[in-house]
Structure 1
Amino acid sequence: MGIPNSLNGRLLLASVCLLPVFVAVSGTALDRAFVESQESAAEERLRTHIYLLLGAAEVFGSDLWLPDELQEPRFNQPSSGLYAQISDRNHRVQWQSNSAVSEELPAPLDIRLVAGREIFTEVDVAGKPAHSLSFDVSWDSETGEERTYRFQVINDQSALLAERKSYRGQLWRWLSTLTIILIVLQWLIQRWGLNPLGKLATDLKSMEQGKSLKLNDDYPDEIQPVTKNLNRVLEVERAQRDRYRNTLADLAHSLKTPLAVMRGNLESQQEHRIDSDNTDFQIMDDQLQRMDEIIRHQLQRAVAQHAGGLPGKGIPLLKVTERIANALTKVYQHKSVAIHLNIDDTLEFNGDEGDLMELLGNIMENACKYGDGKVNVSASRDELLTILVEDNGPGVPLDRRKTVLTRGARADTATTGQGIGLAVAVDILSSYNGGLTINKSEHLGGAEFKIEVP
C-alpha cells in the first residue's frame, strides 16, 4: 500500500503511525517511574523495620538480645512474609524472627561488615522474590569490646508485584483508549482544518458551471494568496478572450467590403465577356464563395460567443438540440428527414451556448445532408458528456475517417459545401479538451459521430 494521495489521508496516516509510538514511550516511562517509586518505598519500609530492631536490641556481655515479641506483629507471625535475622562478623546467624521459623532464609551476605553500610538487594524466599535490606552496626560491649553485627530485614514482594500488575493493566488500558480518542480528535481537527480546501474545490466547480465569476475572499490567510492569483489569472484570460473575439470580428468585418467589391467586379466582367468559356470566372467565384463562408462563420462565432453567456455555464443540452433539430427538419423538408432525440432533460453542456449550437449544428447538418432521412441523437454522462449523432446514409469509409475531420476535406465531393464544418467542430472540442470520433452506426447502419467533452 502506497502513501495516500490526499492531505487528509497523509496526516491521518502520520498520526496513526506516530501517536501509538509516542504513547508507548510515554507509557514505558510512566511504568518505569512507578516501579522506581515502589522500589524506593519498599527500601524505606525495610529501613524503618531495621530501626525498630536496633531500638529493641541489646548486648549483654558477648550475647545479643532481642525480646520474644517485637513491636511489628508480622515479625511474630510464622510465614508472614516479613522476616529478620542478625549475623556476626563471621556471617554466622545470631538471631532470627519468629516469622522465619518455618522458612529457610537466604544465608547472610558474604561481604565484610562495615559499620553504617546499607545493602539493598533482591533475594528468594521459598522460591518467591523478596526485597532485602542489610545494615551493618558496631556495638561497644560492657567489657569495652567492639562487636559488629549485620541486621537484615526481608519482605515478600507478592503484594508489591500484584499492585504493579494491576497498575500496568490500568495504565495500558487508559493509554490505549486515549490513543483512539486522540486519533479520532485528530481526524476531526484535520477535516475542520482542511475544510477550506474542499470549499475551494466547490467554488471552482461553481465557476466551471458558470454560477460565479470569481472566488470569494472568505478563505484563511494561507489560502488567500492562491485564490487571489487564480482570480487574477481568470480575469486576464477573460480579457484576452474578449480581445481575441473583438480582433476576429474586426478582421472579418474589414474583409467583407473588399470581398463584396471583388465579387461585384467579377460579375460585371463576366457579363461583358464575349466568349462563352467561363471556367476561370467559375474558379474565382468558388474561391470568393469559400472566403465569404469562412468570414461569415467567424463573424457568427464571435457574436455567438459574446452573447452566449459565461464560459463554463451549464447549458441545457435537450433544449439546444431541439432547436437545431426543428431548424434542420425545415431546411431538409424535401428529404423528409426524421430526427429522433434520446436526451435526458437534466443533461447540461458546461460551456458556451454558441459553441454548442455550432458544434451540434455542423454535425447534425452533416448527418441530414449525407443520411437517407433518419437521424438519431442520444446523450449520456459518466465522467464525460457523450453525444452520439447517427444517420442511415452510406457512412464514412474507414480510410477517410481521419481525413474528413481536417479543414476543407469532405467525404462526398459531389455535395456542395466548403468542407469546414467538421473541422470547426474539432476546433471547438479541442478548446474544451474534448474529442470527435467517427464510427459505423450499429442502429442505423450509417455514420456515427461520437462527441466526448468534460
Structure 2
Amino acid sequence: MKRPHSLATRLFVTATAWVVVILLITGIILSSVYRGATERAFDRRLNLYLRTLVAEVASPPDPAEQQQTPSLGEPLFELPLSGWYWEIAPTDGDKTEIRASRSLWDKKLPKLEDQGAELTASGVRLGYVDGPEGQHLRLVERPVDLGADGKFRISVAGDATEITEETRAFDYYLGGTFAALSIVLVLTTLFQVRFGLVPLKRLSEAISDIRSGRTERLEGNYPAELAPLAREMNALLDANRAIVERARTHVGNLAHAIKTPLSVIVNEANTTRQNGSATDPLASKVLEQADVMRDQLTHHLERARIAARVTIIGTVTDVTPALEALCRTMEKIHRGCDIELKADGDAKFRGEKQDLEEMVGNLVDNACKWAEHHVTIVVEIERMGAHDPSPKLRIVVDDDGKGLSDAERAQVARRGQRLDETKPGSGLGLSIVVDLAALYGGGLTLGQAPIGGLRAELVLPAV
C-alpha cells in the first residue's frame, strides 16, 4: 500500500510546480517580446537605408550622377557577401539595368512579392529570405513609381544572425536569472511550508499526547486560524468526559435498582426453604435462577462500566508494576504454583489499571487452576509497520498443565462454558476477558503452550 504524502510535501510540490510554470511562461513571453523589439530596431535600421536609397533614386542631381552607386555610409555594403545588401531593380519592361551594392557581388536578392508578402501600411514588405551563400537575411522591400523616370523595386537586406544572436544572448541571461530566481523562490517556499505548518505539527503532537495520556487538554497558544479548532477540541473532550460520568452514574443506579429486588427474591426463597422443606423445588429453582441472574447482571454491568470507561481518552497504565502485584496475589491464592514474569519495563497499557488486572487476572487464575507447577507470563511491545503505526501490548500466559484440544479451546471461550465442574468458577472468566479486550480494540487467542499446557495470548493497545 502506497504511503500518502504529507501535507507539507504536497504543498511544497504544488508551490514549486506553480513557480516553475509561471517562470517558464514569463520567460517565453519576455523572450518573444525582446525578439519583437530587436526585430523592430533592426527594421528601423533597414528602413533608414531604404529611405536613403529612395531619395537617391527619386532625385538624381543630373543624368551623369544617376549612374553612380549610392553611398549609405555603411562599410558592410562594400564588403563582398557580408550579409548586408541593397538592390535597385526596375520593374517596367523598358529598363533592365539593376544597381546593387558591391557586397552583393554578382548575385540577386529574392523578391518578397514572389513569396506572397503583403504591403504594410507604410508601403513596404518585410520578411526573412535566404540570401547568397545560404545566409539568413531580414529584407525590406518597397516599390517606387517615378512616373516618366520609371518604376523600381528597392530592396535592403541585413544579416538576420544579429537578431538571432541578440535574442539568444538575452535568452541565456534571462534563463540564468530565472534559474537563480527559481532557486530562491523554491527555498522561500520550502521555508514557508516548513515553518508555516509548525503550529499544525504542534497541534498534532498535542492531540497525540492527549490520546496517549500524557496530557488532558490542548494547551498553549495557537495562531488565529487554529485557535478555534483548539477550543472546539477542548470542548469536545469536556463533553466526552461529562457523557462518560453520566454513563457511570446511570450504570451505578441501574446496578442498585436491580440488585435490591434480586436480593429480596433470594432472601424470600431462602426463608421459604428454611421454613418449609429443604428440597422445595420452587425455592431451589428460584435460587438457581437468581444465581444465574446475578452472574449475568454482574457480567453485563461490568461490561457497561468498562465500555463507559474506555471512551475516556488519555488513560495509561504501567504494566510491569501492576502484573508484579497480581503475581504475588495469585501465588498466595494458588499455593504451590510458581509464577514467572518476563516483562518489558517500558510496557504501558492504553487503558485503566483495574481493567488490565481483571483481564490478566482471569487468565493467570485460570492458568494456575490447571497448571501442574509452573505458569509463565511474558509481556512485550510490538511496533507495527507503516500501515499501522500504533504499538501493541502482547501478554502471553502459559501453563504446564494438560492443555486443551481445538474443540475445547473454542468451547471455553464462550460465556458460562466449563469443561470441569470440579474446579471452582462460573465459567465467565475467559468470556469477560474476550469482551473487555474487544472493547479496547484487542483480542484473545488460545493455543498450545511450549511447556505443555494452554497458551492464552492477549493483545491490547499500548503506548
Q: Same fold (TM over 0.5)?
A: yes
- Kindly report which structure 2 residues correspond to 1:291-330, keeping only aligned pairs within 5 A, or say none: 311-330=313-332
Q: Could you give the per-residue CA deviations for residues 248-306 of structure 1, whole angstroms, max 9, x where no partner exists? A: 22333455555555555555555555x67588766655555555566677888999999
| Matching residue of 2:103 | 99
Indicate conservation of the 8 Å contact 2:303/2:436, yes or no: no
> Would the alpha carbon gap of residues 433 and 276 (structure 1) be closer, same or farther in structure 2, given more than 3 Å must change?
closer
Work out whether 1:119 is the aligned partner of 2:122.
no
> Would the alpha carbon gap of residues 113 and 452 (structure 1) be closer, same or farther in structure 2, given more than 3 Å must change?
closer
Indicate conservation of the 8 Å contact 2:244/2:311, yes or no: no
> Would the alpha carbon gap of residues 66 and 377 (structure 1) be closer, same or farther in structure 2, given more than 3 Å must change?
farther
Indicate conservation of the 8 Å contact 1:85/1:153, yes or no: yes
1:181 & 1:444 partners in 2: Cα distance? Answer: 67
Which residue among 375, 392, 396 is the counterpart of 2:400?
A: 392
Report which stretch shifted further, 108-117 or 46-55. 108-117
| Matching residue of 2:376 | 376
> Would the alpha carbon gap of residues 114 and 136 (structure 1) be closer, same or farther in structure 2, given more than 3 Å must change?
farther
| Matching residue of 1:236 | 239
User: Gapped runs of 5+ residues in structure 1?
Assistant: none
| Matching residue of 1:204 | 207
1:62 & 1:30 partners in 2: Cα distance? Answer: 52
Q: Could you give the per-residue CA deviations for residues 27-77 of structure 1, whole angstroms, max 9, x where no partner exists? A: 322222122112111101111222344556652238724457542222233
Deviation, 1:177, is: 5.0
| Matching residue of 1:38 | 38
AA aligned opposite 2:130: D
1:117 & 1:92 partners in 2: Cα distance? Answer: 23
Which residue among 446, 449, 452 is the counterpart of 1:445?
A: 452
> Would the alpha carbon gap of residues 68 and 26 (structure 1) be closer, same or farther in structure 2, given more than 3 Å must change?
closer
AA aligned opposite 1:131: R
| Matching residue of 2:359 | 359
Report which stretch shifted further, 111-120 or 173-182. 111-120
Indicate conservation of the 8 Å contact 2:310/2:439, yes or no: no
> Would the alpha carbon gap of residues 240 and 410 (structure 1) be closer, same or farther in structure 2, given more than 3 Å must change?
farther
Q: Which has the higher contact order (CA 8 A, sep 6+)?
A: 2
Which residue among 399, 403, 406 is the counterpart of 2:414?
A: 406
AA aligned opposite 2:330: L
> Would the alpha carbon gap of residues 236 and 358 (structure 1) be closer, same or farther in structure 2, given more than 3 Å must change?
same
Deviation, 1:389, is: 1.4
Q: Could you give the per-residue CA deviations for residues 196-225 of structure 1, whole angstroms, max 9, x where no partner exists? A: 443332222111122222334744455555
AA aligned opposite 1:118: V
> Would the alpha carbon gap of residues 178 and 92 (structure 1) be closer, same or farther in structure 2, given more than 3 Å must change?
farther
Indicate conservation of the 8 Å contact 2:124/2:142, yes or no: yes
Indicate conservation of the 8 Å contact 1:313/1:350, yes or no: yes
| Matching residue of 1:424 | 432
Matched residue count: 445
| Matching residue of 1:346 | 346
> Would the alpha carbon gap of residues 165 and 229 (structure 1) be closer, same or farther in structure 2, given more than 3 Å must change?
same
Q: Secondary structure, in 3 states, of the residue corresponding to 1:401? A: helix
Indicate conservation of the 8 Å contact 1:130/1:155, yes or no: yes
> Would the alpha carbon gap of residues 16 and 194 (structure 1) be closer, same or farther in structure 2, given more than 3 Å must change?
same
> Would the alpha carbon gap of residues 129 and 280 (structure 1) be closer, same or farther in structure 2, given more than 3 Å must change?
same
Indicate conservation of the 8 Å contact 1:70/1:76, yes or no: no
Identity rate, percent: 26
Deviation, 1:12, is: 4.3
Q: Could you give the per-residue CA deviations for residues 331-380 of structure 1, whole angstroms, max 9, x where no partner exists? A: 111xx111111211111001112211212112221111222221111122
Deviation, 1:178, is: 4.1
Which residue among 200, 213, 217 is the counterpart of 1:214?
A: 217
1:121 & 1:94 partners in 2: Cα distance? Answer: 22
- Kindly report which structure 2 residues correspond to 1:90-169, keeping only aligned pairs within 5 A, or say none: 90=92, 92-101=96-105, 104-107=107-110, 117-125=123-131, 126-139=133-146, 145-169=148-172
2:71 & 2:235 partners in 1: Cα distance? Answer: 96
AA aligned opposite 2:240: E
TM-score, normalising length from structure 1?
Answer: 0.82
AA aligned opposite 1:417: G
> Would the alpha carbon gap of residues 453 and 393 (structure 1) be closer, same or farther in structure 2, given more than 3 Å must change?
same
